[in-house]
Structures are given as structure tokens and as C-alpha cells.
Amino acid sequence: MVQPQEPNKDWADPRVTGFGNFTETIHHKPGSTLQSLISLPPRYNVRVIGASRGISVDIARSYAKADTNTIILAARNTQQLQDLASQVAQINPGCVVHSVKCDITSAFSVHNLAAFTHEKLGQEGKHLNAVIVNSGYANNRELNVTEGNAIHEFWAQSFAVNTFSTYHVAHYMVYSQGHCVSIGI
């Protein structure tokens, strides 16, 4: 049994204690037989937003392993996108991979990503089956409203990434053709 531990004191709020006793942590790993069972319908196409790091990287790799037809990777960091696109192509050489720079806090940028997706998939007679949105912003600091401009900038960035970007994605990426599953992480 895993013993609960207190959080790392470098980032924890000293006023809050007992995190380690809240719930037991159990780690599981899928069995080897599950990996061979994961398969998607033919011509399955996905877009992963926020694909330059974190869980999105593994999501993109998993879709490649599941024999996805097309993966559109989108994020602000183009170098990390290119690295991931290379990994996806190695995992699934038959997968068409596109990397698109996109800042989801910008309505213009999200609109351009939607237009790119529609154009690329439309040229190939395809439609989008899933959109994964994995972008978020947090800062480990106390939110004191009397702090001035620094706190205003934090709140503005938090709302831009965590709230407005969700609207941009929903607004510009809803299609009338096909069925699309949206997954927000």
C-alpha cells in the first residue's frame, strides 16, 4: 500500500495541510493485452490543441498507435510541434500529420486553425472526428486583489487561456458535417 505523503513544501501553501491524508493514491498501468485492442474506425481524424507538451503529447502518440488517419497538432511552440509530428510519423507512417501554430487566446488564430483544418480535411474528403483541447494556465500564487497590475495581468491571462479560449474553440470549430467529439482537459 502506498503511504500518503505531504506535498512538496516548495510549492505548497503553508496554511493548507493534510493533502497527503485526503485520499489514497493508487497507480495503475494498462495491461499489455489492452494495447493490441485499441483501434479506431477507418479514416478517423483528430485535432489536438495544446499539443506541444504535457498530456497532449501522449494523447497524440496514443492516437497514432490507434491507427488514426490524420492528426492535426496545434500549439504555440512550433519546434515542439515539429518534434511531436516526427514522433507521430514514426509511430504510424500511414498517418497524415499537420503541425499548426495556434494561440488559443486569439480568436484570429483559432479561426485560422479551423480554416486550415476544414481546407486540409476537405481536400482529402475527410471530416474531423475528435477535438482534444488541453490548454490551461495556472500560477502558484495567492490572489491578492490589492497587489496592483501584476495580479491584473495574471487574471487576464488566466481568463484568456482558461475561459475565452474555450469559447474560441467551440465557436470556430463546430462543424455541420460529420460527428465530432470534443474533449477538454
Q: What is the CATH number of the domain that holds 115?
A: 3.40.50.720
Q: What mean pLDDT value characterizes the chain?
A: 80
Q: Could you tell me the residue range of the domain that residue 101 belongs to? A: 38-184
42, part of any domain: yes
Flag whether 16 is in a domain: no
pLDDT at 2: 47
Residue 52 maps to a domain: yes
Summarize pLDDT for 71-103 with one digit per residue, the tens. Answer: 999 999 999 999 999 999 999 999 999 999 999
DSSP string, 50-86: TTTSTHHHHHHHHHHHTT-SEEEEEES-HHHHHHHHH
CA–CA–CA angle 47, 154, 165 (5° rounding): 25
In-domain check, residue 15: no
pTM: 0.74
Structural domain count, the chain: 1
Is residue 97 one of the residues assigned to a domain? yes
Q: Is residue 90 part of a domain?
A: yes
Residue 2 lies in a domain: no
